[in-house]
Structure 1
Amino acid sequence: MFTRSQAAAQRGNPVECAGCHHPCQQVNLHSPAFGNDETNVDSWFQLLTSSTVGIAGLRHIVVEQDARVCHLHFATPASAYFFFHSPHRRGPLRAVLGNMTIVQSTSVNHRWTRYHQGRHYPGQPCHHNYDVPVPPPSVPYYHRHHRHRRRRGGN
């Protein structure tokens, strides 16, 4: 019997995939483990698609060792959607990479990517990438407690 996890473990990390063209099929993983110079990209790909971690629908990864980031490219928008919106499925991932692992969405033109389950149509850009603005930086804590910012009484 040829299972899905065996098929993923036997193929290598392709150079380019459909997820390279659609940000809604990409998810970023931040972890100190990706800063390891001894592990190559194919080893990371085999680990992430193994039955231990079990990331379904993973097609391609790009590891930036200097930034300690791994960009996951999924085969379909639905695969990226379910991985991003199912934090309970990330337990095995954190067990292997450590508790400091952060899952983050990608951004296009300073806007967060909105993940969706629908398919893409050839020649049309994904319209979901331009809906969600990136939140502005919050006001530093010390600015909220200055005297000129506090009001006293009813005057």
Structure 2
Amino acid sequence: MPVPTDQQEITLQTLPQDPLAEPGAANGDPAPGVLPIPLTLEAPLALSKTAPQLLGLPLQLLNQLLARLAGLRLQTLAELLPALRLVAILAAAGFVVKLTGATLDALNDIPMLGRLLELVGLISALNFLGRNALKSQKRAELLARIQKLRKDLLG
């Protein structure tokens, strides 16, 4: 059995008009109608080595964080509290996301309420754009506020 490589070639042959005729007998070609098709054994683009793995990013981050926590040698309660606080915050954030998703799913099941909320959201977004993004002075003020918040949060 041959060892698979990164790229193999599959050949497809077209059927001749006369199924009993020998392939290539008419014009001397070894195999007429052979179409080489390259076959790649690599993963799809989202999971390949060159593309960023966006699908598993939160799980990878969580695994790295837990591995880092497992590597710590915590001796006292004062050293243990920041790690426990971080785990509690992560658990609370997961619970809030799950609860929010369940609530929105339940609201979406009520007839007409989901569509009404979508309409309210669309009107609110258009109102925000009309007030802040269409006028250059307001747009500059909004960008300045965003830069100030970014500077305050990120340092």
TM-score by length of 2: 0.16
TM-score by length of 1: 0.16
Higher relative contact order (CA 8 A, sep 6+): 1
Higher normalized strand content (fraction of residues): 1
Structure of greater Rg: 2
